[in-house]
């Protein structure tokens, strides 16, 4: 079964709202309030994902919160003029790296 690229559709919709504001649009509200408001929402949604991730029965709610986070990240990307293809390319590059386990950070003993 072929899956539609929902993230791409969302990104294009957010870009359209940025270029063609519509009255009553939550996306346009975020753009009008500026990057600090967008970042605040990203932080709030990330926190909600963490909370639901710790909840053993929170799978359904976690899906909803993950969608909220993805939406707000998409708004941030559009605000920062970060193209979705750039994110896809970076993910493709990271996928090619195997055995890339990072070592534990050394304890800081002297400042």
pLDDT in tens, 60-74: 899 999 999 999 999
DSSP letter string, the chain: -PPP-HHHHHHHHHHHHHHS--TT-HHHHHHHH-HHHHHHHHHHHHHHHHHHHH-TT-HHHHHHHHHHHHHHHHHHHHHTT--HHHHHHHHHHHHH--S-PPPPPPPP---
The per-residue pLDDT for range 37-66, each reduced to its tens digit, is: 999 999 999 999 999 999 888 788 999 999
Could you tell me the pLDDT band of residue 111, with boundaries at 50, 70 and 90? low
16-30, 66-80, 85-99: range with lowest mean pLDDT: 85-99
CATH 3.40.50.1000 describes domain 6-94: no
């Amino acid at each position: 079964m072929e899956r539609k690229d929902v993230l791409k559709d969302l990104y294009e919709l957010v870009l359209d709202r940025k270029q063609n504001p519509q009255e009553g649009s939550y996306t346009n509200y975020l753009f009008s309030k500026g990057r600090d408001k967008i970042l605040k929402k990203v932080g709030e949604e990330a926190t909600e994902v963490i909370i639901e991730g710790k909840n053993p029965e929170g799978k359904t709610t976690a899906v909803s919160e993950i969608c909220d986070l993805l939406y707000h990240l998409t708004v941030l990307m559009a605000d920062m003029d970060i193209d979705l293809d750039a994110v896809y390319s970076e993910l493709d590059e990271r996928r090619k790296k195997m055995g890339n386990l990072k070592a534990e950070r050394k304890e800081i003993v002297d400042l």
